[in-house]
Structure 1
Amino acid sequence: MRKDIHPAYGPVVFRDRSTGTTFATRSTLGGRGGDVPVVDVEISAASHPFWTGGTRVVDTAGRVEKFRRRYGTR
C-alpha cells in the first residue's frame, strides 16, 4: 500500500440511540490517537425489526384520517 493516502483506521464505539446498546469495532471514523470516539447510530442489529422480530409503532392515524376525508364515502 502507498503511504499517506489511506484514511486513519482505529478503534471506535458505536452506540444505538434507541436501545443504548454499544459495540466496539475498528473504523475509519475513529482515527488514531487519544480517547476512543463514540458514534451514535439510529438503528443497529439490536433495534432493527428484522433482527429483533418486533415491529415499530408508526403513527398512521393522521394519514388514515386524511385518506378517509379525501376518498371516503360521499
Structure 2
Amino acid sequence: MKPNIHPKYRDVLFHDTSSDTYIVIGSTLQTERTAEYQGKTYPYMTIDVSSASHPFYTGKQREAQSEGRIARFRNRYKRREMQ
C-alpha cells in the first residue's frame, strides 16, 4: 500500500437531531467541528435520521400501515344507512 493516501480512520460523534441521540462510530469523515461527549473530545457531525429515529427501526411505520388497512376495511364493510 502507498503511504499517506488513505483517509484517517477515527471515532466520530454523530448527533441525531430528530431524537437527540448521540452515537460514537468509527469513520473516515472529515469535519472541522468537535464536541465533548462522556469526557472525551470527538469530531462532531449532525445527522437528521438514524436507527434511533427512523420509522423502520422504531416500528412506527408498521403502525401507520396497519391503521390504514383497518380504516379501509371499516369503510368497505360499514353499514349503509337508509335515508
Give the TM-score category using the shorter length.
Answer: 0.5 to 0.7
**Structure 2 unaligned spans of 5+:** 35-40, 62-83
- Taking only the aligned residue pairs, the percentage that are identical comes to 42
TM-score (norm 2): 0.56
Distance in 1 (CA, whole Å) between partners of 2:44 and 2:18 is: 15
**CA-based RMSD:** 2.0
Give the number of equivalent residue pairs. Answer: 53
Give the structure with the larger helix fraction: 2
**Structure 1 unaligned spans of 5+:** 56-74
Q: Where does structure 1 differ by over 2 angstroms across 4 or more consecutive aligned residues?
A: none
TM-score (norm 1): 0.62
Give the structure with the larger strand fraction: 2
Larger Rg: 2
